[in-house]
Amino acid sequence: MYNRKDSYYYKAKQEGYKSRAAYKIIELNQKYKLIRKGDNILDCGAAPGGWSQVALNLVGQAGRVVAVDYAEIMGINNPNFTFIQGDMKDEKIIEAVHALGVYDTILTDMAPKTTGIKVKDHVDSLELVQIAFGLAERSLKPGGSFVAKIFDGEDRQAYIKQLEKRFKEVRTSRP
């Protein structure tokens, strides 16, 4: 059984991060230099806000982080942070995201409500990634980065092949 309250959970609480997931984006950024000072970042499915916190630190005063989620994000009080509460499938939400400009990096750590049925959870995960990728196609700067979590399953490799047609470089990682 997976224990969400592992050492990363306690480390995140101790270091002031909203979630243990903060360490995923820290590790990915150290490896791939996805987020730089001055960048504009879109964080899809951002609650509770761990990735947004890290992104804000990385972009500095000249950058901006826009976060979108159903659930409200509390406690990130930074003038360079904009939170949009709502459904990523809602055209009004999509328009609000676009109205804020184009993005250097689009992040999604969205996960479906898991059922324990691996095939269903995989398909639901892939659907969420496709929603975020739809935003990326419309609002990612040329040469920008798209970072997505995809549950393992039979369609994962086929989707990665689709991404390879759209991006100069596609990498997979298990942070």
Catalytic annotation, residues: 149
- Determine if residue 143 is left, alpha or beta; phi over 0 gives left, psi from -120 to 50 gives alpha, anything else beta: left
- The rounded distance, in Å, linking the Cα atoms of 159 and 126 is 8
How far apart are the two ends of the chain, measured CA to CA in Å? Answer: 19
> CA 44, 46, 49: angle at the middle one, nearest 5?
155
Interatomic CA distance for residues 140 and 104, integer angstroms: 6
Residue 69 in contact with residue 47, Cβ under 8 Å? yes
- Hey, is 147 helix, strand or coil? strand
Which DSSP string corresponds to 91-115? Answer: HHHHHHHHHT--EEEEEE-------
Region for residue 33 given its phi and psi (left: phi exceeds 0; alpha: psi -120 to 50; beta: otherwise): left
